[in-house]
Amino acid sequence: MNKTIRRASVFALLLVLALLVRATWLQYYDGQALADDNDNRRNVIATYSRPLGNIIVAGEAITGSTRTKGSDLAYKRTYTDGRLYAAVTGYASQAYAPTQLEGIYTDLLNGTDDQLKTVMDTVTGRRADPGDVVTTIDPAVQKAGYRALGGTKGAAVALDPKTGKILAVVSTPSYDPSTLTDAGTAGTAWQRLNADKDKPLTNRALRQPLPPGSTFKLVVAAAALEDGLYENVDEPTDSPQPYIMPGTVRELPNESKSAPCRNASLRVALRYSCNNVFGHLAVQLGQDKVRAMAEKFGFNDEEQDVPVRAYPSVYPSGMDKSQTALSGIGQFNVTATPLQMAMVSAAIANGGKLVSPHMVARITDGGGDVLKDYDDDTDTKEIIGSRTAEQLRSAMETVVKDGTGTNALIDGVTVGGKTGTAQHGENNDKSPYAWFTSYGKSDGNGREVAVAVMVEQSDAARSEVSGNGLAAPVAKAMMQAALK
């Protein structure tokens, strides 16, 4: 063999070896990454080759699957009462990434979750039968909140204080997830929903923190009692009226000019929502102590999963004293979600203990066997002492009986609450946010519920926007549904 042929043979052999190495690398190392790639059409075809598992509310599936026509995707997702439950389910789309519970449990619902596989499935590579997601949602409470919010832009969350079960997650305006399921029509619906100035795709209950206004005064009151600044809610506070914020010539005004807010007790200050008392309290305590209490309730938590990850509610740092005063009334850069404010009321109602909120009770395999029970996997933290909780409950009940929250009164139910009207816009030039956070306990059956409501925008005149006028009736409707 001459030298030229020998060199060509060696070169050809090296090329073959390189191809073999590359093929081996692709098959054994890059294969899974290519299989999982979002642009791999085979994944979508496999996902929608058969019906998906379902999301369950009170024993009934609120999702389904239906046959398609003229597509290589054999099935598409369907929804029962889609607008009602959109903030819970999210959507599973042939064109877009899934959201909410559909996104969290994608693998379970399409049968690729390793928990679903039998030994035979592992050997044969067969896709397992899809599993189901069983929620904690109470349809009566969900419907009550959705109907009561009506045409407003707002949100509401209801919790069971004893168990942490989320009974309702409502966000309005809502949308129909069914419009996003079909790849052929989803694009038009997607553009329309994203162009809507009211942002119906936004989950306002979990993922839009806004200034909580005077509902945050409960956190400041808890800090004052726990710190020993005051012994009980009936002890007069050292609160000047008018209160000039430190380092400024600016008065922190009260909504009512005639309210008895000078040196008012915490009970009276919560009843009349005295800004001077809580602005001064925040400065007396200092931002570090107020922040510490807020964080015990869940503020500044970057990993608040229910299991959908809620956006963190924020109590800021690095404030001067005047900003700290504003933070004491839930303004400046303080923000909260309805979930967070429901957690505040839930902990107070539950003797100072907060059970981790969750809206999935359990997940099951295709045969209905439980894979994981979340009701048995809750975490309980003591936020405030039982005496502090008792004191705050007493004051919150005064707010509803004789104060700013009378629209939440329910016959046969002990109701405690706190209203809030949060300023919005430069120099408060936009319609305020109306808040109400509360708890109710049935005098008959002993059931309990905590509810927080936020109305971001309504048809009411600006002068008529208040927590009692807009948010308390929604909370009342949800509490009635939960406790009957």
Predicted confidence (pLDDT) per residue in 232-289, tens digit:
999 999 999 999 999 999 999 998 889 999 999 999 999 999 999 999 999 999 999 9
pLDDT in tens, 325-364: 999 999 999 999 999 999 999 999 999 999 999 999 999 9
Residue 2 inside a domain? The answer is no
For the record, the structure tokens of 199 come out as 């942002």
Q: Which residues, listed in sequence order, are joined to residue 454 by a DSSP beta bridge?
A: 155, 435
Q: Which domain holds residue 477?
A: 213-360+380-483
Arithmetic mean of pLDDT, 134-157: 97
Mean pLDDT of the region 287-296: 98
Query: 145 pLDDT exceeds 80?
Result: yes
Backbone angles phi, psi at 422, to 5 degrees: -95, 130
More confident residue, 484 or 286: 286
395: CB partners within 8 A, 6+ apart: 221, 233, 266, 267, 270, 271, 416
Q: In the numeric block, which tokens belong to residue 167?
A: 């009974």
For residues 168 and 457, which has the higher predicted lDDT (pLDDT)?
A: 168
Domain harbouring 278, CATH code: 3.40.710.10
Angle subtended by helix axes 217-227 and 275-285, to nearest 10? 50
Q: Is residue 126 part of a domain?
A: no
SS3 374: coil
How far apart CA 170 and CA 149 sit, in angstroms, is 9
Euclidean distance between CA atoms 166 and 316, whole angstroms: 27
pLDDT score for 9: 79
Q: What is the pLDDT of residue 34?
A: 47
Q: How confident is the model at residue 25 (pLDDT cuts 50, 70, 90)?
A: low
Q: What is the pLDDT at residue 458? A: 79
Taking the model in full, what pTM does it have? 0.91
The number of folded domains in the chain is: 1
Backbone angles phi, psi at 213, to 5 degrees: 60, -140
Q: Would you state the pLDDT for residue 29?
A: 61
pLDDT of residue 28: 62
Task: Give the pLDDT score at 245.
Answer: 97
- Closest C-alpha to 439, from 424, 449, 429: 449
338 in any annotated domain: yes
- Residue 80 inside a domain? The answer is no
* Residue scoring higher pLDDT (71 or 312): 312
Distance (Å, whole) CA 475 – CA 145:
7
Computed on alpha carbons and rounded to an integer, the radius of gyration of the chain in Å comes to: 27
pLDDT per position as a tens digit, 397-419: 999 999 999 999 999 999 999 99
Residue 125 lies in a domain: no
Q: Could you confirm whether 214 is annotated as catalytic?
A: yes
Q: How confident is the model at residue 443 (pLDDT cuts 50, 70, 90)?
A: very high
Half-sphere exposure of 294 (CA within 13 A, CB side): 29
User: Is the pLDDT at 304 greater than 80, yes or no?
Assistant: yes
Q: What is the identity of the amino acid at 421?
A: T
Secondary structure (H, E, C), 22-50? HHHHHHHCCHHHHHHCCCCHHHHHHHCCC
Residues recorded for the chain: 484
Query: Which pLDDT value is given to residue 342?
Result: 98
Proportion of the chain above pLDDT 70, given as a percent: 93
Q: Is residue 437's pLDDT more than 80?
A: yes
Two tokens, residue 188: 């038009």
Q: Are 324 and 282 in contact (CB under 8 A)?
A: yes
- Confidence class of residue 14 from pLDDT cuts 50, 70 and 90? confident
Report the alpha-carbon distance of residue 317 to residue 311 in Å, rounded: 18
User: Residue 16: pLDDT band by 50, 70, 90 thresholds?
Assistant: confident
Write down the mean pLDDT value for the chain. 92
Tens digit of pLDDT for each residue in 38-82?
555 677 888 888 999 999 999 999 999 999 987 888 899 999 999
Q: Is 158 domain-assigned? A: no
Is 450 inside a domain boundary?
yes
Residue 344 · residue 338 · CB < 8 Å: no
Q: Which listed residue (93, 174, 178, 214) is catalytic?
A: 214
* pLDDT at 23 (0 to 100): 72
**Is 418 part of a structural domain of the chain?**
yes
Those residues whose C-beta lies under 8 Å from the C-beta of residue 4, and which sit 6 or more positions away, are: none
Q: Nearest-CA neighbor of 141 among 469, 468, 477, 465?
A: 477
What average pLDDT does the segment 112-124 reach? 79
